[in-house]
Amino acid sequence: MLGVRGSTPAPGPDFVRYGGHTACVAVVPDGADEPSLLLDAGTGIRTLGSKLKSDAFNGSILLSHLHWDHMMGIPFSRALDQASSRVDLYLPTQDGMTARDLLARTMSPPAFPIEPEGLHGTWTFRATEPGPVEIEGFRVTSTDVAHKGGRALGYRVEDAGGSIAYLTDHAPVQGMSDECWALVDGVDVLLHDAQFLESERAIADEYGHATIDEAIAVAVKAKVGKLVLFHHSPVRTDAELDVIGHNLEAPLPVVVAREGMTVTVP
Provide the pLDDT for residue 261: 97
Q: Are strands 37-39 and 58-62 parallel, antiparallel or unpaired?
A: parallel
* Distances, alpha carbon 102 to alpha carbons 75, 180, 218, in Å: 15, 24, 31
Of 18, 58, 25, 19, which is closest to residue 41 (Cα–Cα)? 25
CB 42 within 8 A of CB 3: yes
Q: Is the peptide bond before 110 cis (omega within 30 degrees of 0)?
A: yes
Provide the pLDDT for residue 266: 82
Provide the pLDDT for residue 92: 96
Specify the amino acid at residue 37.
L
State mean pLDDT over 46-58.
95
* The model's pTM: 0.96
Helix (H) or strand (E) holding 36: none
Provide the pLDDT for residue 103: 96
Provide the pLDDT for residue 30: 87
Homologous superfamily assigned to 13-256? Ribonuclease Z/Hydroxyacylglutathione hydrolase-like (3.60.15.10)
Provide the pLDDT for residue 161: 83
* Distances, alpha carbon 253 to alpha carbons 140, 194, 198, 218, 219, in Å: 24, 15, 20, 13, 10
